[in-house]
């Protein structure tokens, strides 16, 4: 028997990921232009460490663990999968400053106003859509 699937044309897959990635120098500039240490740490974790907004929202003081001069965080991501993220020394120092004296159950990033109920609300309250583009999370 002949395999009929070989004669069926498949649609072309176009990889658009490269079009959506911000250049590293643009990200560094964005982080450097941010005046608040809290927001710099948020940007560094989202971009530099690959955290999702929902993981950032759920981050508690007890999730931070020292590893000598650096540290690591334990995050629960999609599908309740737990992963450990190693942090660069500069990001670890920022998190230590932000979370010193906190109760272990306290969120590392306390909202400036009322607590956001979703990752999308957190993104809106943190970024305030500086560049006019809509916030995308999830």
Q: In what order do the strands lie in the sheet with 70-76?
A: 64-67, 70-76, 82-87
Distance CA 96, CA 71 (A): 9
DSSP-derived 3-state class of residue 87:
strand
C-alpha distances out from residue 76 to 37, 48, 55, 68, Å: 24, 18, 6, 23
pLDDT for the residue numbered 56:
92
Distance CA 54, CA 123 (A): 9
DSSP-derived 3-state class of residue 75:
strand
C-alpha distances out from residue 104 to 3, 28, 46, 60, 64, Å: 61, 30, 22, 7, 9
pLDDT for the residue numbered 1:
72
pLDDT tens, the chain, 138 aa long: 788 888 888 888 888 777 777 888 888 898 888 888 888 999 999 988 889 999 998 999 999 999 999 999 999 988 889 999 999 999 999 999 988 888 999 899 877 665 555 566 666 655 554 444 444 544
C-alpha distances out from residue 7 to 10, 13, 43, Å: 9, 18, 48
Domains in the chain and their CATH numbers?
Answer: 22-126 (1.10.443.10)
pLDDT for the residue numbered 121:
65
Distance CA 58, CA 132 (A): 26
pLDDT for the residue numbered 112:
65
pLDDT for the residue numbered 123:
62
pLDDT for the residue numbered 16:
77
């Amino acid at each position: 028997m002949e395999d009929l699937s070989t004669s069926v044309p498949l649609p072309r897959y176009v990889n658009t990921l490269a079009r959506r990635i911000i250049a590293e120098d643009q990200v560094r500039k964005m982080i450097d232009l941010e005046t608040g240490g809290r927001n710099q740490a948020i940007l560094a974790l989202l971009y530099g460490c690959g955290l999702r907004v929902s993981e950032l929202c759920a981050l508690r003081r007890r999730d931070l663990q020292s590893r000598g001069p650096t540290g690591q965080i334990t995050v629960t991501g999609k599908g309740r999968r737990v992963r450990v993220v190693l942090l660069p020394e500069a990001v670890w120092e920022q998190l230590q400053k932000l979370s010193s004296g906190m109760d272990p159950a306290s969120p590392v990033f306390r909202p400036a106003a009322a607590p956001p109920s979703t990752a999308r609300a957190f993104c809106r309250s943190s970024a305030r859509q500086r560049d006019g583009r809509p916030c995308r999370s999830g």
